[in-house]
Chains A and B, each alone.
Chain A
Amino acid sequence: MKKLVSLFLILVLAFFLTTALDQGLDFWHSPSQLDAFRMSNAFVQNDVLGEGGALVFGESKNLESGSANIVTSIVVDYRSFDTLGEITVLFLSALGVGLLMGSGVRTTLRSGFILKTAAKMVAPLMLLTGIYIFTHGHLTPGGGFPGGSMMATAFLLHYFGSDTVKSNLKPLKWIESTAGALYILLGLAGLFVAGSFLQNFLPTGTLGHLVSAGIIPLVYVLVGLKVGSEVSGIVADFSKTEVVS
């Protein structure tokens, strides 16, 4: 009975949603938008302050944001304050997990021979891939969030693949707080040098080079370290359990 009522409510909701959306969007086909009228054109052209021009990969210099990956330039340059808020939310959730799982020791999952052998070989490669992803976040797909999570996955594999690792989480906390503090210090440096919080105050270089885009690579490395240590902390806290004798 309850399921029937729920189904009915869902169908009513689906009817209203589809009729409401059908007016604005080309709903049943691949949606298409008029290119000229969308807001992110300014982000794509590096033209928010109104001094942009044609962008050529490898030639354009001293752009507004200077990152080849436009998503990165939005996440850590144009909307960087938003990102600061997001990693604060992630920090709060990690704090909540740590507080609620407070007492306890590491779960003794019996890891088999295959996992132990493979973890030794695969975990360093995963760590290296994570570092590559967040240092090249302004050139290739990826960035701090997937790179940090990949580092956390490598940590997790190492954590369960070896018997010798004790649950000593001090370095993680240290990295996390240092990265967060450095992010805010970079923002304050933008405030004092260029006049607004988290502004891109370094020279942005040539579009498409590794050393370019001002503070974007620095911020993304910090975000990657912070997200990686936070997610590792969540995972390590999560795998603790009460001592069952």
Chain B
Amino acid sequence: MIQFAGIALILIGIYGLMTTKHMIKLIIALNVMELGANIFIISIGFVAHGLAPIYTADLPNQAFSFVDPLPQAMVLTAIVIGFGVSALGLVVAQNIYKKHGTYDLSEIGGEE
């Protein structure tokens, strides 16, 4: 189910990118999309009855399996990068607001 939710979040983010012209809402939609992609990548590595990929003192003696640690390593860094990207986007949006006095993309541009 969580895999399905990840795909749905990506699609909802694309819908938000297509339908809004408010710059901050565009960045919010981008964040939703990023969240969906992260959830989907993590859910690919999930193994039924798997354990978190950490060796501890109280692991079971019988056979067990870890979930796939490779997607987790990818997403771990991607989250921090996503924060940097959205901060940069917001700063660009603020500069556009300072110059044009509006957050609406359809009111910017044209010759005046």
List residues of A whose CB falls within 8 A of some B CB: 2-3, 6-7, 9-10, 13-14, 17-18, 21, 25, 27-28, 30-33, 35, 38-40, 43-44, 55, 57-58, 68-71, 74-75, 79, 82-83, 86, 89-90, 93-94, 96-97, 100-101, 140-141, 143, 145, 149, 207-208, 227, 230-231, 234, 238, 242
Contact = CB atoms under 8 A, between A and B. Distances in A.
B10 to A, nearest CB: 8
B69 A44 contact: yes
Interface residues of B, number: 46
Contacts of A82: 77
Given A18-B7, A39-B70, 13 more contacts: A3-B19, A9-B18, A44-B66, A68-B54, A70-B54, A71-B69, A71-B76, A75-B77, A86-B81, A93-B87, A93-B88, A140-B54, A208-B55
B47 A70 contact: no
B46 interface: yes
A162 B11 CA distance: 43
A71 B92 CA distance: 34
Dominant secondary structure of chain B at its interface with chain A? helix
B47 A208 contact: no
B91 to A, nearest CB: 5
